[in-house]
Amino acid sequence: LIIRPHGYLMFNVIVNHLMETDSRIHTFMPPTYRSYKVIIRNLYHTTLISDISNALSELGHSTRRITNVIKNGNPCPLFLVELKPNINNNDILNLSSILHTKIKVKLPYRIKRGPPQCINCQNYDHTANYCHHPPRCVKCEGDNSTNFCTKDKDNLAKCALCMSDHTSNYRGCPSFKALPKRNKSFHSKP
């Protein structure tokens, strides 16, 4: 069953009702709550996150989170900035300097490697942030969170989706291979 409420007030009412009744559901973040994400390039990696946040707030931007990008264990001169939803968010793309440093601001580049997989219930097409299904282990197909898995390293992994001898996040899983076909037929027009 797919419910698409009109407006965030109806969304909150429906989700609260389903949570009170202990329904097994997953939801998605409403677009009005989503962060606006950008990458700031050329800021030295030792730049304090609080300094970046203060400089952006002086320019009229409210930050939710700022993270220094790390590659191979080494910090890069890149910062992922998440802004709170606001009408002036696109203005950040026009910034050319901040904290006396020339910068480039770009939208993040992402390579889609298939649908998202929930690390709570191991199902596809949603993430754990809004998942209210019971947890399933990625290694032992048990009804426990992966953090509390008691599977011995000598035993084979067991998929929670197809019960084969592999982990649930294996891209060769028959459940994963069937997804693009299912999604293609789901989204195709008649």
pLDDT at 77: 95
> Based on the domain organization, do 45 and 79 belong to the same domain?
yes
> Based on the domain organization, do 39 and 96 belong to the same domain?
yes
> Based on the domain organization, do 132 and 173 belong to the same domain?
yes
- Stretches where the chain sits below pLDDT 70 are 111, 180-190
User: If you write DSSP's letter for every residue of the chain in order, what string do you get?
Assistant: -----SSHHHHHHHHHHHHHTT---B----GGGPPEEEEEES--TTS-HHHHHHHHHHTT--EEEEEEEEETTEEEEEEEEEEPS-TTGGGGGG--EETTEE-EEEPPP----SS-B-TTT--BSS-GGGB-SPP--TTB--SS-GGG----TTSPPB-TTT-SSS-TT-TT-HHHHHHHHHHHHHH---
> Based on the domain organization, do 62 and 101 belong to the same domain?
yes
> Based on the domain organization, do 79 and 128 belong to the same domain?
no
> Based on the domain organization, do 85 and 121 belong to the same domain?
no
> Based on the domain organization, do 45 and 57 belong to the same domain?
yes
Give the CATH number, domain containing residue 85. Answer: 3.30.70.330
> Based on the domain organization, do 119 and 166 belong to the same domain?
yes
> Based on the domain organization, do 127 and 79 belong to the same domain?
no
pLDDT at 181: 59
pLDDT at 20: 85
Tally the domains of the chain. Answer: 3
pLDDT in tens, 81-112: 999 999 999 999 999 999 999 999 999 887 67
> Based on the domain organization, do 102 and 126 belong to the same domain?
no
User: Could you tell me the residue range of the domain that residue 50 belongs to?
Assistant: 35-106
